[in-house]
Amino acid sequence: MERVAIIDLTTQQVECREIPESVLRMYLGGEGINTYLLYNHLPAGTDPLGPENVLIFGAGLLSGYDVSSSRFEVTSKSAEGEGGFGTSNSGGHWAAELKLAGFQHLVIKGKAARPTYLWIHDGEIEFRDASFMWGRDTYECEELVRDDLGERNVQIAKIGQAGENLVRFANIMHGLKRAAGRTGMGCIMGSKRLKAIAVRGTQGLKPHDPARLLETYRNHYRQITSTKIYPVISRYGTLTIFSVQNQSGMISVKNNQYNYFEEAEGRLDDEIFEEQYKTKTLACYGCPLRCSHRYRINAGPYAGTWGEGPEFYMMAGFGPAIGNADWDLVLAANTLINRYGLDVGSVSSYTAWLMELWQRGIVTEKDTGGLKLDWGNKESVLALIHQMANNEGLGGMIGQRASRAVEEFGEEAGRYLYTQRGMIHESPENTRASRATSLAAATTNRGSDHLKGRCALEFFAMPEEVLKKIYGRPIASDFRSWQGKPWMAVWTQHFTTVADSLGYCKFATIYPGSTHNLGYQQFCETINAVTGWDTTPEELMETGERIWNLERLFVQRETGLLRKGDIPPSIYFQPQPLEPLKGEKLDRAEYEKALDEYYEIRGWTKEGAPKPETLARLKLDGEPSHLI
């Protein structure tokens, strides 16, 4: 039986509860049960930074059991944006270790009287003093915790100075670069004076049918490693996405002013990183993809800088989005962001916005404290990162006020700040020409979310008979067509939600575009071997729908922002300026019609609220049910 620990930092009390099997089948784990716990444990209208807010960690139901299934979810009321649904997903080794220590979920309440870290080991939870590491970055925290415990194999989720200083887009970090990013989960953790959660377990996992699970694991390993995408991902990781995105005209250049960055050709690509900077390849727990990298800068002003990463979003966010084609700046910024515990998407997007304001004369040296925000200015970019994390100067103001920072510079500045549900649009993406992805990303519950909204299969011009086989309905092959795209958006949102609830890495699934990777059928094979259930793909599809609707109920309860929050940023309705997609944009009337179809598929009202009959069908009409 899976367990959840209710941890009160104020009283230093812990209550352990078993998760009923009925709840597991309805929500699985990870994102699903986190959402259930949030909706049931959080009082309506709670201040995100108040002690009444809850911070929930959840391993996937299958974390530690299958190939590429060791991810965890962190969920709370968002510190960023409109104070709505906040959730983030991270890989590494932490989730499997939490399961080995005897827990699947943690619900953290209250606020510690002094800096604290949690030590979770083989069913025990201890509150330990973290004063000696408060003010230290995430790399230092990792070593300090291990030294304090005398345990080198411990796995640690922690915050850096950004979380301590309540930066609205602070991350929770694991290892050197694994991040629970977006929505400010690190800010919530800092508000509770919780520096870290260290876990170590030796209890072992106990699947229902070990022999069946072993055979399933072998089959899934062979399946993943035989795909055409495997050798590319295992060598370059997500960096391989960059050149494709740029050459397709779907990259954000200088805060979305352009959609292709010529300067990057031959200067900012995965081969250069591989040859000049990469020192080591790493993998998450039980994963053959090995998509992560260690790097070191060996020459120039940043010589000696080292770290882990970067991902595509770092490469594009601190590359074209800010007008930079120098790998050294990308890597120096990556190291700083990971040490401080900042979110790449938010930091790069706000930096790009400030640079456009500088370009247009809306922001001057009087506003910047002397920083010159020319496109690609290395010193100023790094200075802004320091300021954001330490709550100093212009960067500190952005970090504290986030999307409300436009008030500092006037109405004109707001024209170039692209937000959705109060979340700044993730800088690297410029997918306004694609219909399903634009709709899916805009209608996500946390706002501006490529991880739930990127409909990767729409970019491959696949035969329509193949698309129909995958999605069960007719889908247009052309990404600029609306035919079938509302259903494609719904399907993608449900599938990614199930993956995040089970603990799978999306790159081991069909999500990135490889139709030979793991899908619903393979998920069921592992679930049934682990639990002894008879789960079907149809049941999992409904589970994804159930979780999505419960998240929508939370958004409705906490913000009331429904249809108006499902509209993409204004830049999406402006034509692309450069080839190969010159002139492409979303048409407002067509988008509104597609949104109506999306709501109809979901069983929602014209305003985007789940209908009573939809809630009854999904067994959500009794929530909050307080079964845990």
pLDDT digits (tens, 9 = 90+) for 413-447: 999 999 999 899 886 778 889 999 999 999 999 99
CA 29, CA 491: separation in Å to the nearest integer? 20
CA 118, CA 103: separation in Å to the nearest integer? 14
Within 10 Å of residue 612's Cβ, how many Cβ atoms?
11
Q: What integer pLDDT is reported at residue 427 of this predicted model?
A: 66
Q: What integer pLDDT is reported at residue 403 of this predicted model?
A: 74
Q: What integer pLDDT is reported at residue 428 of this predicted model?
A: 75
Which tokens hold the place of 581? Answer: 């997609």
Q: What integer pLDDT is reported at residue 448 of this predicted model?
A: 86
CA 240, CA 242: separation in Å to the nearest integer? 5
Give the count of alpha carbons within 13 A of 616, CB side only.
3
Q: Is 626 exposed, middle or buried (0-12, 13-18, 19+ CB in 10 A)?
A: exposed
Cross-strand partners of 118: 127, 197
Q: Which one, of 286, 325, 231, 301, lies nearest residue 93 by Cα?
A: 286
Contact 59, 99 (CB under 8 A): yes
**Per-residue pLDDT reduced to its tens digit, 187-219:** 999 999 999 999 999 999 999 999 999 999 999
**Per-residue pLDDT reduced to its tens digit, 26-65:** 999 999 999 999 999 999 999 999 999 999 999 999 999 9
Q: Is the pLDDT of residue 329 over 90?
A: yes
Contact 56, 106 (CB under 8 A): yes
Q: Which domains does the chain have, with CATH numbers?
A: 3-200 (3.60.9.10), 215-424 (1.10.569.10), 435-617 (1.10.599.10)
CA 523, CA 526: separation in Å to the nearest integer? 5
**Per-residue pLDDT reduced to its tens digit, 90-101:** 999 999 999 999
CA 111, CA 115: separation in Å to the nearest integer? 10
Q: Is the pLDDT of residue 516 over 90?
A: no
- Note the Cα 162 to chain centre separation in Å: 18
| Cα maximum dimension of the chain | 68
3-state class (DSSP) for residue 121 = strand
- The stretch 499-506 carries a mean pLDDT of 98
| Count of helix runs (H) and strand runs (E) in the chain | 26, 17
Within 10 Å of residue 624's Cβ, how many Cβ atoms?
15
CA 578, CA 580: separation in Å to the nearest integer? 6
- The stretch 269-284 carries a mean pLDDT of 96
Within 10 Å of residue 394's Cβ, how many Cβ atoms?
22
- Note the Cα 374 to chain centre separation in Å: 29
Question: Mean pLDDT across the chain, nearest whole number?
Answer: 96
Out of 108-112, 133-137, 239-243, 344-348, least confident range = 239-243
Contact 75, 550 (CB under 8 A): no
Q: What integer pLDDT is reported at residue 34 of this predicted model?
A: 98
* DSSP codes joined into one string, 250-264: -B-BTTTTBS--GGG
Using only C-alpha atoms, the chain has a radius of gyration, in whole angstroms, of 23
Which tokens hold the place of 512? Answer: 């990135």
* DSSP codes joined into one string, 494-545: HHHHHHHHHT--GGGBSTTS-TTSB-HHHHHHHHHHHH-----HHHHHHHHH
Which tokens hold the place of 33? Answer: 């049960």
**DSSP β-ladder status, 278-282 and 85-90:** unpaired
- The stretch 523-543 carries a mean pLDDT of 98
- The stretch 519-528 carries a mean pLDDT of 98
Q: What integer pLDDT is reported at residue 229 of this predicted model?
A: 87
* DSSP codes joined into one string, 311-325: -HHHHHHTTGGGT--
**Per-residue pLDDT reduced to its tens digit, 351-402:** 999 999 999 999 999 999 999 999 999 999 999 999 999 999 999 999 999 7
pTM above 0.85, yes or no: yes
Which tokens hold the place of 371? Answer: 């920083």
* Single-letter residue type at 389: A
% of the chain surpassing 70 pLDDT: 100
CA 238, CA 181: separation in Å to the nearest integer? 16
Q: What integer pLDDT is reported at residue 380 of this predicted model?
A: 98
Q: Is the pLDDT of residue 227 over 70?
A: yes
Q: What integer pLDDT is reported at residue 405 of this predicted model?
A: 83
